[in-house]
Chain A
Amino acid sequence: MDILDILRAALQQALGPQAIVFALAAIGLNIHFGYTGLLNFGQAGFVAVGAYGLAVSVVTFGAPFWLGIVMSLVAPLVLAVILGVPTLRLRADYLAIVTIAAAEVLRFVFGSVEMKETFGGSNGLNGYARPFQQANPYSSGIDLGIISFGRNDLWSLTVGWILVALCCLLVWALMRSPWGRVLRSIREDEDAVRSLGKNVFAYKMQALALGGVIGGLGGMFLALKQASVVPSDYSTLMTFYAFAALLLGGAARVLGPVVGSILFWFLIAGLGSFFSQSAGKGGWIPTVIMTDTQASVIRYIVLGLAIMLLMIFRPQGIFGDRREIAIDGR
């Protein structure tokens, strides 16, 4: 058992690209769910179109890189409008079902053999990220003692965390404004807001689009960092993990999703490392109880349990204010 090793694995993930992707996805969800009360279970779809918006434009249609970036912002916006116009009038749980189904449809289409020419099938697309890699100003990686990042990772992380910071700043500025007040009011009682002359639908649409675009930024970042987009990355689990991160940090808090995502990956990687050290050869858990393969599964069991317990006993998350938490479920 090497505690330093566990810590290293955990920190590496907590500060690494995964945490950034899920932080962005969760910031988007926070706008949807935390502030506005929209139960979007299709955030993975927004992340996916962000990533594919970039990759498809550049690889399939030969667009220049900058246009790919623009498309990566436009695509989630378009998805938000297409999804939002018909669905925002639906009940919360119906909205959840429609969005999760839409995200799955997107993933199936992206991964389909029949559309391989456009979306690259299950192997996805690559070969668009060169301009991003070339823009790397660092000449070497960084070694912080316990953790270290290579040159490319360091560049990705710099860009990623700046994106996260900017999004947080935007959310903070928006949520202290009267606009944010309308969103929080919609979360509590749409009819009350309507009775005061506010166009609830328009606000919901703005929230859906903003959160979707921020989720799309997560996709763009993932696409740039990985230099490839693969449909299997964007399964419903991505949405649920983002929800878990959001709930962990605390919904309706500006930094909630960011802290949540960092903690989420810290725990996932830490638990993973802990159990992989504990099981198998040289571990203290006998193989009869846990094999190596089983050790890699156990963190997800803990995750599922954690989501339940968190929701039951501390729905406001670690930093949330119980009096202000969104989850009433009317």
Chain B
Amino acid sequence: MDADMTDQTNAEKNSDVSKTGPAGLVGVSTEPGSKKPDPIIVADNITRTFGGLTAVDVDHVEIQRGAITALIGPNGAGKTTFFNLLTGFDQPNSGSWSLEGKSLKGVAPYKVARLGMVRTFQLTKVLAKLTVIENMRLGATGQKGERFWTAPFKFLWGKQEDEVTKKADELLARFLLDKKREDFAGSLSGGQRKLLEMARALMVDPELVMLDEPMAGVNPALKQSLLGHVKSLRDEGRTVLFVEHDMDMVRDISDWVIVMAQGKIVAEGTPDSVMADQRVIDAYLGAHHDTDLSELDEEALEAEVEAEIEEEEAK
């Protein structure tokens, strides 16, 4: 990737292209693994196997900076695993990947987050037994009060805590959670949890927000506002990568779509072109043909059961 090109596309993004078309993605090839003008993430030869099953096998992929990229694919296509690999929550068998040119191979998840790549989870991980505002405060980085030796002395961190709280309150208001401020996060509905998790991720001030199925379990009334939030992230100059099943959402807000099936990237392109792509239709149909006995279903089932358990615990 040469510097000239990067500069050029940045300039483009700031000019008229970003208003009319997908952020800097006009004219990009729709071949799987195609080059992007200004990639924030570049990944090569990533493989991850579970036992005999290859969950992820990605030759090359680039994610465009400042764009909303959707990662879609049938159940068990390896989307979440790929997410986990990128963010350091799982280790690949092979491959290399980088964020803004910095290699993330073997980097611990917390460091990945500090580098500006923050994720949410398919099954929301709000801290049920902390209040909503405490959840938010936790997200802030560089807190003096989080260091052991300064923590006992409130005068050392009190002021920063106030600033953090102010920022948290602004975000809560934006995500319509301000009325729930003092409630335990465990008392929130599924959709509100998704919102809280997203808001909390923003407390980190990430360059890149990775959302794992942000719409799952969210009621239709909240969906529209969530969509708005995701779009506004892009407008703030952040990059968004999300996994989603809800095709309406994908069509609505994404600038670029990457399709995975059986661990591989099978197609890329703008939402419209991808939805018309025969390979994509095949991938979805093919997946439906052999779902019954595959171990992939086991994974999905486990995820479901876990989700149920979580819901029960929340009660």
Task: Give the B-binding residues of A (Cβ under 8 A).
Answer: 170, 173-174, 176-182, 184-185, 188-189, 191-200, 206, 210, 323-325, 328
| Chain B, Cβ-Cβ closest to A252 | B129
Q: Would B130 and A178 count as touching, CB distance under 8 A? A: no
Q: A173-B153, A178-B143, A179-B148 are in contact. Are A192 and B113 (CB under 8 A)?
A: no
Q: Would B114 and A177 count as touching, CB distance under 8 A? A: no
**Chain A positions within 8 Å of B141 at CB level:** 196-197
**A173-B152, A195-B118, A195-B120 are known contacts; what are 20 more A-B pairs with Cβ within 8 Å?**
A173-B154, A174-B148, A177-B145, A181-B138, A184-B129, A188-B129, A192-B125, A193-B138, A195-B87, A195-B110, A195-B201, A196-B139, A196-B203, A196-B204, A197-B114, A197-B118, A197-B141, A198-B110, A198-B146, A210-B148
Q: A184-B129, A189-B125, A192-B121 are in contact. Are A178 and B157 (CB under 8 A)?
A: yes
Q: How far is the CB of B238 from chain A (nearest CB, A)?
A: 16
B121, B127, B154 interface centre (most CB from chain A within 10 Å):
B127
Q: Would A323 and B184 count as touching, CB distance under 8 A? A: yes
Contact flags B111-155 to A (C-beta < 8 A → 1, else 0): 101100011110001111110001001110101011110011110
Q: Would A177 and B129 count as touching, CB distance under 8 A? A: no
Task: Give the A-binding residues of B (Cβ under 8 A).
Answer: 87, 89, 108-111, 113-114, 118-121, 125-130, 134, 137-139, 141, 143, 145-148, 151-154, 157, 161, 184, 186, 200-201, 203-204, 313
Partner of A177, one of B87, B118, B120, B152: B152
**Chain B positions within 8 Å of A174 at CB level:** 148, 151-152
| Alpha-carbon distance between A191 and B119 when the two chains are bound, in angstroms | 10
Q: How far is the CB of A215 from chain B (nearest CB, A)?
A: 18
Q: How far is the CB of B262 from chain A (nearest CB, A)?
A: 26
Q: A173-B152, A178-B143 are in contact. Are A195 and B134 (CB under 8 A)?
A: no
A-B contacts, 29 of them at CB < 8 A, read A170-B152, A173-B151, A173-B152, A173-B154, A178-B137, A178-B146, A178-B161, A179-B151, A180-B151, A181-B130, A184-B127, A185-B138, A188-B127, A189-B125, A191-B89, A191-B121, A192-B127, A194-B109, A194-B110, A195-B109, A196-B118, A196-B141, A196-B203, A196-B204, A197-B141, A198-B138, A198-B146, A200-B110, A328-B313
Q: Would A195 and B151 count as touching, CB distance under 8 A? A: no
Partner of B130, one of A184, A195, A210: A184
Q: Would B145 and A323 count as touching, CB distance under 8 A? A: no
Q: A182-B146, A185-B138, A328-B313 are in contact. Are A195 and B121 (CB under 8 A)?
A: yes
Q: Would A185 and B127 count as touching, CB distance under 8 A? A: yes
Q: Would A177 and B110 count as touching, CB distance under 8 A? A: no
| Chain B, Cβ-Cβ closest to A178 | B145
| Alpha-carbon distance between A197 and B208 when the two chains are bound, in angstroms | 13
| Alpha-carbon distance between A325 and B111 when the two chains are bound, in angstroms | 30
Q: Would A323 and B129 count as touching, CB distance under 8 A? A: yes
Q: A178-B143, A182-B138 are in contact. Are A192 and B126 (CB under 8 A)?
A: yes
**Chain B positions within 8 Å of A193 at CB level:** 110, 138
Q: How far is the CB of B137 from chain A (nearest CB, A)?
A: 7
| Chain B, Cβ-Cβ closest to A172 | B152
A176, A181, A325 interface centre (most CB from chain B within 10 Å):
A181
| Alpha-carbon distance between A192 and B123 when the two chains are bound, in angstroms | 11
| Chain B, Cβ-Cβ closest to A189 | B125
**Chain B positions within 8 Å of A179 at CB level:** 145-148, 151
Q: A177-B157, A181-B130, A185-B138 are in contact. Are A196 and B113 (CB under 8 A)?
A: yes
**Chain A positions within 8 Å of B153 at CB level:** 173
| Alpha-carbon distance between A68 and B264 when the two chains are bound, in angstroms | 63
Closest 9 CB pairs of A and B: A179-B151, A178-B145, A197-B113, A192-B125, A177-B151, A173-B152, A197-B114, A194-B109, A178-B146
| Chain A, Cβ-Cβ closest to B89 | A191
**Chain B positions within 8 Å of A197 at CB level:** 110-111, 113-114, 118, 141, 204
**Chain B positions within 8 Å of A185 at CB level:** 127, 130, 138
| Alpha-carbon distance between A197 and B110 when the two chains are bound, in angstroms | 4
| Alpha-carbon distance between A173 and B150 when the two chains are bound, in angstroms | 10
**Chain B positions within 8 Å of A206 at CB level:** 148
Q: How far is the CB of B150 from chain A (nearest CB, A)?
A: 8
